[in-house]
Chains A and B, each alone.
Chain A
Amino acid sequence: MFKKSLALGIVSGLMAGIAGIVYARVYYQINESDFSRVVSAVKIIAASLVGGVLAAIGYALLNKWLKNNGEIVFNLCFTLISFASLLAPIAVTLPKTIDTPELFPGLVIPMHFFPALGWYTLKPVFIRGK
């Protein structure tokens, strides 16, 4: 179970990272606000991978402890944690040299949902329903 969930976490994390980079490029084209010094492509990939791996660990542990209800609790926790994590980009203080900090949450908030979105999308490929 853990190997499958870890593979899912890594692949969905990578997919989320790629989606995040594409979204950052589109965001830059639309708003002409460059946050690459704060949110570089490497950081996007790394953060998404960490999210995916943590999700994999959480999924494996919850399924081990809670058996039949593990999946339900995991999905609820993953979504809630993704929502709660939105506070970070809203509260963060950027370097003063960045002219438009008010556009920063618009860039990062959607990215916080990409790992969960990737996980829910790819889960049937890696872990079949019981």
Chain B
Amino acid sequence: MSKLFYPVVTVLILAGSAFTLVAPQNWQIGQGYSISFSSSDADGIFKDLKGSVVFDEQNPAAGKFDVVVDVASINTGNGLQNKHAKSDEWFDAAKYPTIHFISRSIAKSGNGYQVTGDLDMHGVKRMVTIPFTFSRSAQGGTFAGSFMVNRNDYKIGKPGGDVGEQIKIDISVPVTKS
């Protein structure tokens, strides 16, 4: 029994360290992130983003994104438009204070990656796929992605009108190792 003890412990330690080596990296959302939206007649940004980001370029499938955007942090550059955007006619920030995205899967795609997950916005949860890139830097890296959503799918605003139904979302999130 004593002869087996040390080999078994060694194997367990090696096996454990192997798992540690392949565990995906936890990233902390850094300053200077940008979440902007634009359509034919409206554009703006969301200023507050929180969440957890787990991602490894070598093993994207093990990654996980869980991020929340504060709807009240919307900024179109115009006070009246901000008020209007937060009203029940559009985002209804009082009733639906956050936009929540949780990933289901992340996969390599061409030169970048794509994440598929649930986008919960304005009380409507829909699956979306977001293509993104990750550029690594000395201290961390930057996620950048761009995708389209149809605001009618989320019952935001009335169909038609001046504001385009297809909204382009551009995301750039610098991260640091946590």
Residues of A with C-beta under 8 A to B82: 101-102
**B81-103 Cβ-contact flags toward A at 8 Å (1 or 0):** 11100000000000000000000
Is A95's CB under 8 angstroms from B77's CB? yes
Q: A23 an interface residue at 8 Å Cβ cutoff? A: no
Is B78's CB under 8 angstroms from A99's CB? no
Given the complex of chains A and B, what is the CA–CA distance between A14 and B36 in angstroms?
A: 40
Q: Report the interface size class on chain A.
A: 10 to 19
Given the complex of chains A and B, what is the CA–CA distance between A104 and B83 in angstroms?
A: 14
Q: A96 an interface residue at 8 Å Cβ cutoff? A: yes
Total number of residue pairs linking A and B with CB closer than 8 Å: 34
B79 in complex: contacting residue of A95, A96, A102, CB < 8 Å: A102
Residues of B with C-beta under 8 A to A105: 79
B77 in complex: contacting residue of A90, A98, A103, CB < 8 Å: A98
Is B78's CB under 8 angstroms from A94's CB? yes
**A86-123 Cβ-contact flags toward B at 8 Å (1 or 0):** 00001111111011111111000000000000000000
Residues of A with C-beta under 8 A to B81: 93
Q: B155 an interface residue at 8 Å Cβ cutoff? A: no
Given the complex of chains A and B, what is the CA–CA distance between A99 and B76 in angstroms?
A: 10
Is B83's CB under 8 angstroms from A96's CB? no
Residues of B with C-beta under 8 A to A104: 79
**B16-36 Cβ-contact flags toward A at 8 Å (1 or 0):** 000000000000000000001
Name B residues whose Cβ lies closer than 8 Å to a Cβ of A: 36, 44-45, 47, 75-83
Given A96-B77, A102-B80, 5 new contacts (CB under 8 A): A92-B78, A93-B77, A94-B77, A98-B75, A101-B79
Name A residues whose Cβ lies closer than 8 Å to a Cβ of B: 90-96, 98-105
Q: When A and B form their complex, which 10 residue pairs have the shortest distance between CB atoms, in order from nearest?
A: A102-B79, A93-B77, A94-B77, A101-B79, A96-B45, A93-B78, A96-B77, A96-B75, A101-B78, A101-B77
